[in-house]
Amino acid sequence: MPAAELLEAMSAPWLKEIDIEDLHKTSNRQTGAAEASQPIDLSTEPSPEKNTLWWRNNLCLDEAQLTLVGFSKGCVVLNQFIYEFHYTKTLTPEDAHTMRFIKRIVSMCWLDGGHSGGKNTWITARSLLETLALLDLEIQVHVSPYQVHDEGRPWIGREEKAFTALLKKLGAKINRRLHTTPGVQSLYTHFNVLNCFCREEPP
């Protein structure tokens, strides 16, 4: 496309900055108008098949108990939570909004954490883990040989061992499971941790 046409397209009047808040309000108005135009049958509850947003009914996150779950590279997000816990507890304890959120968290589950970054797959700093232990959460660690016995990424196993051992030493309520499968450990072993986690009863 020639430069002149490209500049003209970019300056078109219909091309304007999108305000997410406006989109949300517009969507709510359209949804409300659609619901108002149809008769409401109060005799039956909407089923998940008919109403894809059924799970939002009576949802109140301010009163919910939260379980945070991370799988594989997603465990990095749980690690970031530990940093946020420490920052809030030590530097901004007056942040009532964040403190309310933290108090809603009852458990955290690390499912076979791993990435190719070379380090920091698992948190091993004592000060950070002390803060986590003091929160008195239920901590679950589910790992597989695919990650913790990987000779190509030996730091994963070392860090996970330090993470688990230090939390136990600090008195945290931690439960560790090593999930193995027969034969050569493969990506299937890694994803099978999800199946094992879903089948297990809460501790």
Contacts with 82 (C-beta within 8 Å, 6 or more apart), sequence order:
123, 128, 129, 131, 132
pLDDT digits (tens, 9 = 90+) for 153-196: 999 999 999 999 999 999 999 999 999 888 888 889 999 999 99
Strand 105-111 with 66-71, pairing? parallel
Closest residue by Cα to residue 129 from 149, 110, 101, 104: 110
pLDDT digits (tens, 9 = 90+) for 144-156: 999 999 998 999 9
Encoded tokens for 1: 């496309």
Angle at 162 between CA 165 and CA 115, to 5 degrees: 130
Closest residue by Cα to residue 131 from 108, 161, 112, 111: 108
* Segments in the chain below pLDDT 50: 1, 3, 6-7, 9-18, 20, 23-24, 42, 203
Encoded tokens for 133: 């232990």
Query: What does residue 44 show for φ and ψ, rounded to 5 degrees?
Result: -130, 145
Is 106 in contact with 67 (CB distance < 8 Å)? yes
